[in-house]
Amino acid sequence: MASWFFEPIMSKVGEIISGDAYNTVKNIINFEPNRKDLQKNLNALCAKASDVEEKIRNSERSGRKKRKREVEEWLEEVRSIENQVVELRTRVELEGFTIRLTDGELPAKLNVEVDKLVEQSRDFGELVLDVCGSRGDKLLTNEMVGEAFNKNLEKILKHLESEQVWRIGVYGMGGVGKTTLAKHINNRLLQQSQGRVIWVTVSQEFSVTTLQDKIARFISLDFGGEDNEELRAGRLHTTLSQMKNSVLILDDVWENIDLLKVGCPISVECCRLFITTRSLEVCRQISCQKLIPVQTLHRHEAWKLFNETLRNEIELDSSAEEIARSVVELCGGLPLAIVTVAGSMRGERAIHTWRNAYEELTERVSGKAGSTIYSFDRLERNRHGQTNELSTLQHCFLHCALYPEDEEIEREALVREFISGGLVDERKTRRMQVEQGHSILDKLVNVCLLESCVVPGRFDPTECVKMHDLVRGMALKICEGKYMVRGSGKWAKDLEKVSLMKGGIMRIEGGLSPDCPKLSTLILRDNACLEFIPDSFFSKMQGLSTLDLSQTSIKMLPNSICAMKSLKALLLKSCRRIKDVPYLGEMKELRELNISHTAIKEVPGGVGELFNLKFLALNVRNLKMLPKGLFLKLGNLQHLELPLRMQVVIEEIENLNLLEEVSGRFKNVNEFNSLITSWGSRVHDTCYTIVVGTYHRSFYARRGEYYNPQLLLSACNLVDERVLAEGIVHLTISKPESPSIYSVEGLKGLIEKPEIGALSTFVQPKFSSLTMLRIEKCNKSKMRIPLSGVLNIEVIDISKCEEIEEIFEDEGTSSLTLPKLKILWLDELPRLRKVGIQLSGVPSIQVISVRKCGEIKEIFGDKGTGSLTLSKLKYIQLDELPKLRKVGILLSGVPNLEDIYVRTCGEIEEIFGDEGSSSPTLPELKQLDLQQLPKLKSLCKGTNAIICNSIKDIFIKKCPRLMSKLPVVVDSAVPRRCQIMVAAVGGG
């Protein structure tokens, strides 16, 4: 009867008698120490797992990322080992000495498993992948010009499709259109082939390390801080070798590149190479098998491009046209020169203007150089007509040349620098200065001296500008002797601006003291290894106005900085090793001080005396307190950035009458309202990121110098208090105090007439600007959210609300319309029964994610919408929905769907409704992930398989009814490479 108890003991006694006594006794003795070590190590592992889960969740919110499978499996193993340790603890309490005798080695074994998991986590690199397994980014480009251009394009594509060519070189003079051709190749490859296209701009300032970084960033490879070129090359080679049928495009190559040293496995099977360069010799050195020259335009082609760029509404008369044709001749058939000159002549019709343009251009060096200098000269001079002084437009144009070659420059960052450097009207409000800065950039783009571009993002691409390397070279020639940039020039007395950003500088030697009395701007930012600057370095730069040391590793500032009485901008953002900043009270001219994301613990002495300060960024994690009265003399502040974790005393800042941009945290709703009231009519021109109530590090907000009104209400009483929330763009509500907060009668704080009730007040004009709504950790109440009238909302994210039963119900309305909604994210809503939204009301939806909603049976319920098309929907994730039976999406309505993830939905039999077609298709589907779906018969009702010719990755696990046949088919005539993993029914 008690054999279950005695048998393992007697067995262990037998082992002791047979000679294994030493290890058994050792395990008994070490059992408790090992168990304590196990608990300690497990706690650290669980903390790491929690951080990993949080990072993944924040990344997944955007809809652009998904968790790696290895990371997901790692998290499952962590949970498993955590359960085993809990079970061990229970056994210790019940069995006492017996478990020490029978399983004395268990804590040590578990410790080994914990160590393995810790070690495994170190090799993750990136935790997430692009949601659609990104094959590359489509690039913005100009239209193709010339017959030769089209022939070259088709010739190159044909070579890339062949089995005999894997290295192609395109060469030609600067400005002839090589990059434009390469961009069209990039876009056509993405459109026509299934492989990955990796675009990298190399530029003249080349190094193996920077090239490795650029490629790694593109393919989401994390070097983990490794700086050894050979080790990095090995990792890069291994990763690229797994990406079959890829094309590596290297644009603007200036010298021979040892691609094996970089880590690129160039071959037909793996990665083909396409380069652009100005040198035929470089093509030969890199062993290009096919050499494609790019020639200048023929006369008629050049004239056509000139006219298209000129865009004059009224044609030129015959005399002006004749001169214009002569102007085009001077451009030498170079597209860049033609576009630049034409851009500067837009709107001009008078014969004397064209005659003067021809004469001026003739005086310049003909061709590419003359076109840039001529366009620069045509930028308006200052308003006083003093031709010996540069205009605001010209100064701003030349400032762009301080950036590295081929740099994509964020517009907002550039505008901020225009303001910081005094290049825009200082008498204006900050909002007006921002608008002036963007207007300047628009003008420079319109005259073709800058190029508009974007840094791709699935939903929120960053607007940038770019300066062609030829134009940048001419800009630096214009200010030769006055500007010095990385890799050119020497310290000289006449220097006015120096930019060494991203220069790889590690140290400035002691004793170096450049004699630069006219130097006004010094940019050393983005030199991550720069740790030390000697005191002597600034001793002869007394005229310095802007000093930018952001994102360097300097540990302390030289004391000589304090003597710079002319300094107007001191920028130390993300100098994470600086713990102390010297006394700054003597810098009376200082307008901008940015010490955000440093390691300081106290506000630097003297900041409260800087009465000219307009911009103050103090977003510092370790900051202990704000000195009382800090802002009494800072009445000129326009921008104030404080740490969200620190509570601000409202009386300290509500009298800052010029404040336009602010971030910080306030104690309660009354304090927030007090701030809004103090702004009065200025509230409409004010931007802020404000937390009201408690703070948690998981709060997400888009922080920066130019942001929209964002409000985070955390653990606030929103029933008894009214929130002045007009103009809010992003709204987050977390852990509300009131138990009825989201009922129809609740949330009185967000309305002007409490009796109306709830979030239905979003129909009020005050919420017309709302683009993002996030509600989280509401655990005490039921909730319904009427959202009719909020026509601009783009993101809805509701998570961790235990009592919520239905959302998106409209009182008295049969259908809810949210025309701009892009992302719908519902997570951890265990009682949610109904979503209450019809797909016909969300035509712009791109991402749908519903996870851990235990009661939901049907998500979408449109009736009579067989022809409904959701052309923008790309991503569907349905996870841990045990009662889900119907999704409510028709296959014919999602032609651009790229990713399907359905996991742990025990009742679902089909994912899509009846297609009504014998050969249903998902032409853009790349990823298909189906796991733990015991009743799933097919993807689409009425058919066994769907045609998916773009499929790249299929993962099926524990779907027993699908085991006999894959749910997708691929046309055998279409070339493809697809990874398929079908796990066994029992456990996979």
- Higher-pLDDT residue of 435 and 6 is 435
- Short-list 615, 634, 606, 586, CA closest to 426: 615
Calpha distance 640→663 (Å, rounded): 7
Calpha distance 142→123 (Å, rounded): 42
Task: Give residue 600's pLDDT.
Answer: 92
Give 404's DSSP letter: P
Task: Give residue 18's pLDDT.
Answer: 46
Mean pLDDT value of segment 229-239? 87
Give the whole-number percent of the chain exceeding pLDDT 90. Answer: 18
SS3 911: strand
Mean pLDDT value of segment 404-408? 86
H or E stretch covering 485: strand 483-485
Least confident of 116-125, 580-589, 729-738: 116-125
Task: Give residue 777's pLDDT.
Answer: 81
Q: What are phi and psi of 761, to 5 degrees?
A: -70, 0
Mean pLDDT value of segment 733-755? 46
Calpha distance 202→214 (Å, rounded): 9
Task: Give residue 702's pLDDT.
Answer: 45
Asked if residue 273 lies in contact with residue 246, where contact means CB atoms within 8 angstroms, the answer is no
Per-residue confidence at 42, pLDDT binned at 50, 70, 90? confident
Mean pLDDT value of segment 567-594? 93
> Which whole-number Å values give the CA distances from 54 to 61, 132, 459, 529, 691, in the listed order?
11, 21, 21, 29, 20
- Short-list 443, 489, 448, CA closest to 470: 448
Task: Give residue 701's pLDDT.
Answer: 45
- For residue 627, pLDDT over 60 is answered with yes
Calpha distance 571→588 (Å, rounded): 16
- Higher-pLDDT residue of 263 and 5 is 263
Calpha distance 419→435 (Å, rounded): 11
What is the sign, positive or negative, of the torsion defined by CA atoms of 477, 478, 484, 486?
Answer: negative
Asked if residue 196 lies in contact with residue 210, where contact means CB atoms within 8 angstroms, the answer is no
Task: Give residue 383's pLDDT.
Answer: 40
Task: Give residue 65's pLDDT.
Answer: 58
- For residue 735, pLDDT over 60 is answered with yes
Per-residue confidence at 972, pLDDT binned at 50, 70, 90? low
Using alpha carbons only, what angle is made at residue 598 by residues 594 and 603, rounded to the nearest 5 degrees?
70
- Higher-pLDDT residue of 16 and 120 is 120
Using alpha carbons only, what angle is made at residue 513 by residues 509 and 519, rounded to the nearest 5 degrees?
125
Give the whole-number percent of the chain exceeding pLDDT 70. Answer: 78
Identify the residue whose tokens are 């108890």: 5
Per-residue pLDDT of 882-901, as tens digits, reads 999 888 888 888 888 988 99
Task: Give residue 742's pLDDT.
Answer: 39
Task: Give residue 744's pLDDT.
Answer: 30
Per-residue confidence at 414, pLDDT binned at 50, 70, 90? very high
Per-residue confidence at 751, pLDDT binned at 50, 70, 90? very low
Task: Give residue 659's pLDDT.
Answer: 92
- For residue 593, pLDDT over 90 is answered with yes
Task: Give residue 12's pLDDT.
Answer: 46
Task: Give residue 130's pLDDT.
Answer: 55
Calpha distance 58→341 (Å, rounded): 47
- For residue 305, pLDDT over 90 is answered with no
- For residue 963, pLDDT over 50 is answered with yes
Per-residue pLDDT of 678-727, as tens digits, reads 888 788 788 888 888 887 765 554 444 446 788 888 887 666 667 776 77
Calpha distance 988→985 (Å, rounded): 6
Helix axes 392-400, 469-478, angle to 10 degrees: 120
Task: Give residue 549's pLDDT.
Answer: 95
Asked if residue 545 lies in contact with residue 522, where contact means CB atoms within 8 angstroms, the answer is no
Calpha distance 185→197 (Å, rounded): 10
Largest pairwise CA distance in the chain: 115
Per-residue confidence at 767, pLDDT binned at 50, 70, 90? low
Mean pLDDT value of segment 851-869? 72
- Higher-pLDDT residue of 559 and 377 is 559
Mean pLDDT of the chain: 79
Task: Give residue 978's pLDDT.
Answer: 61
Mean pLDDT value of segment 624-642? 91
Per-residue confidence at 1, pLDDT binned at 50, 70, 90? very low
What pTM does this model have? 0.69
